[in-house]
């Protein structure tokens, strides 16, 4: 499923909304999550999962081809932990 | 850096603020967007949200694990897991947000 298909499904279930409104709703949700993570917050959605940011400190790396040392800058990466309910729903038949 | 935790209520508030639906309808729509994503994942479909992230479902085979406390070998049943791959847009937004905040706090200390 891609974003436009998600928008279409939601639009079909809400015939009183314009497609453009649904696009804005879906964008608002993911923009809000992005903004939260960019400003150092986390987002916890019970039953779905939690988005957070992990810090990777600066380190001295090595170019695997040449063996040369390179300084790798500190960075922050997004992290997602699947919620318990979704994890269980993925394996109900197992 | 703020260090708050946002929930569904904050996402509903964002929809209310940006789209102008009622608060209760905003909350319902946030719920149905999350429901549809969950359903697609449970059906085994990948969910690709451009400029945000991809949720991918992986099938894992049975493997032998070990209880780290007792050292006992136990079979880990085959299972499905979900993986999250952030888009480059999301990654760079997060790096930009954190590096500018780091510079901002250094500037404050200097000043």
Query: What is this model's ipTM?
Result: 0.87
Which of B31, B58, B61, B80 would you mutate first to test chain A, the one with the most A CBs within 10 A? B80
Residue A34 tokens read as 């992005």
Residue located via tokens 């085959």: B78
Indicate whether B111 pLDDT > 50: no
Q: Which pTM was predicted?
A: 0.87
Residue located via tokens 């994942």: B41
Compute the C-alpha angle A47/A15/B47, nearest 5°. 40
Q: Do A78 and A51 contact (CB within 8 A), yes or no? A: yes
Nearest CB neighbour to A78, from listed B32, B91, B101: B91
Q: For B16-50, what is each residue's pLDDT tens digit?
A: 999 989 999 999 999 999 999 999 999 999 999 99
Between B44 and B108, whose confidence is greater?
Answer: B44
Contacts of B78 in chain A (CB under 8 A): 94
Mean per-residue pLDDT over chain B, rounded:
90
Indicate whether B100 pLDDT > 90: no
Report the distance separating Cα A48 and Cα A42, nearest Å: 14
Indicate whether B2 pLDDT > 60: yes
């Amino acid at each position: 499923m891609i974003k436009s298909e998600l928008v279409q499904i939601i639009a079909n279930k809400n015939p009183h909304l314009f497609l453009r409104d649904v696009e804005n709703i879906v964008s608002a949700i993911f923009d809000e999550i992005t903004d939260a993570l960019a400003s150092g917050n986390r987002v916890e959605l019970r039953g779905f999962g939690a988005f957070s940011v992990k810090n990777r400190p600066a380190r001295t790396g090595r170019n695997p081809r040449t063996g040369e040392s390179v300084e790798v800058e500190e960075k922050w990466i997004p992290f997602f932990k699947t919620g318990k309910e979704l994890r269980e729903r993925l394996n109900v038949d197992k | 850096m703020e260090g708050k935790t946002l929930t569904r209520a904050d996402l509903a508030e964002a929809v209310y603020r940006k789209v102008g639906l009622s608060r209760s309808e905003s909350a319902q729509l946030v719920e149905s967007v999350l429901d549809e994503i969950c359903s697609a994942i449970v059906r085994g479909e990948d969910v690709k949200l451009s400029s945000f992230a991809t949720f991918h479902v992986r099938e894992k085979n049975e493997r032998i694990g070990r209880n780290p406390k007792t050292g006992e070998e136990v079979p880990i049943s085959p299972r499905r897991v979900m993986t999250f791959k952030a888009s480059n847009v999301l990654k760079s937004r997060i790096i930009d947000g954190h590096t500018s905040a780091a510079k901002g706090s250094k500037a404050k200390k200097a000043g």
